[in-house]
Amino acid sequence: MSPRARGRLLAHPADAACVLFHVLVLALYLVAFWTWAHREALGIAPGAESVAYALGAALLLGWCSGIEVGVNFHNHAHRRVFRSALLNRWFSRTWTVSAGWPAWFWQYSHVTVHHRHLLESEDWTLPRRRPDGQWENFFVYCLAHWPWRYAVHLWRELRPPLASQAVARRARRELAIFLALFSIPFWIDPVAALWLWVLPAWLANVLVVGPGMHAQHAGREAPGPHHTYRHSNVFRSRLFNLLMFNIGYHAEHHTYPWVHWSELPELHESIAEELERDGAHIVPFGYYRAGYLLSRAALGADGRRAEWSRGLRPIAEVEA
């Protein structure tokens, strides 16, 4: 795409990466389904080898779909990618469907609930707190948050009396569009739909979105008058931020959500001293390493369970 064409179509030239990522994920699904339909001709034996293919493909698809909703669509939820409102609306709807999310529902959960009530009791997108203030077990959160908890909260908040009639109407419309899109693979091949559509959606939320949400704010404090950046962990791995659209600069993102994702590293450098003075928590790795540490800690595998579940010790110390 030429720079001029990018300028006409996209709100920011760097968003070409978001669009390309989404197109590649759609291609990934098409190739996975096509391969399943022609598996015997491609040399995959029926039985165990077909199951191995389905499991491997589901992991790859779910992984990408988790990034699609939690990172890629996330960028779009804050700052629209296209100049055209129509394109924004319909691109959104295809963006999150593979992760089992109606785009508008995820946007509501993220922007209206998570950003507005960050780490407060109203922020039901994050792990629940026990009576002693500790966060619930990492695995319990990852397994319970989607679709179960989200469904309960969205059912309550997007209908009267909490929501206006107009909001409720929009929620019904978006849900109907989502269900229509989500059902497409079932019309083609129900067995493939379970392996390569439903299972990836579940993996996307359990393996990618859940651990990511947990890691972003583990051990942090709700925003208050005495600090600016202590609500989120900052993940500075360059490779992670290259592949994950700079989502690691999370304290910066929550404090300045209107800043474009491609400008977050620059923002980080410009406020480096302020971050240090404020006691921001900065670690050299990314969410995947954090997720691994969180899972180990939750299992008690290295005796560090208490630190993580209470969120009392910073990630860097756990890493050390």
By CB under 8 A, how many residues form the interface with other proteins? 48
On whether the CB atoms of residues 248 and 240 are closer than 8 A, the answer is yes
Cα angle, residue 212 at apex, residues 29 and 184 outer, rounded to 5°: 25
Cα(232)–Cα(228) distance, rounded to whole angstroms?
10
In the chain, beta strands by DSSP E: 233-235, 281-283
Helix, strand, or coil here: 260?
coil
- Per-residue HEC secondary structure of 150-176 comes to HHHHHHHHCCCCCCCHHHHHHHHHHHH
In the bound state with other proteins, the residue whose beta carbon lies nearer, of 202 and 222, is: 202
Which residues have a Cβ under 8 Å from the Cβ of 266 and sit 6 or more positions away? none
| 47 to 66: interface string for other proteins, x by CB under 8 A | --xxxxxxxxx-xxx-xx--
Shortest distance (Å) from residue 174 CB to other proteins: 26
On whether the CB atoms of residues 286 and 244 are closer than 8 A, the answer is yes
Shortest distance (Å) from residue 159 CB to other proteins: 36
Q: Which stretch binds other proteins (CB under 8 A): 75-83, 122-130, 170-178, 288-296?
A: 288-296
- Near other proteins in 82-121, by CB under 8 A: none
Is there binding between residue 67 and other proteins (CB under 8 A)?
yes
Shortest distance (Å) from residue 142 CB to other proteins: 15
Helix and strand counts by DSSP (H, E) for the chain = 19, 2
Is there binding between residue 31 and other proteins (CB under 8 A)?
yes
In the bound state with other proteins, the residue whose beta carbon lies nearer, of 32 and 271, is: 32
Encoding tokens for residue 81? 């990618």
101, 108, 195, 285: residue in contact with other proteins (rule CB under 8 A)? 285
**Which residues form the interface with other proteins (CB under 8 A)?**
13-14, 16-17, 20-21, 24-25, 27-28, 31-32, 35, 39, 42-45, 49-57, 59-61, 63-64, 67, 207, 237, 239-240, 242-245, 285-289, 291-292
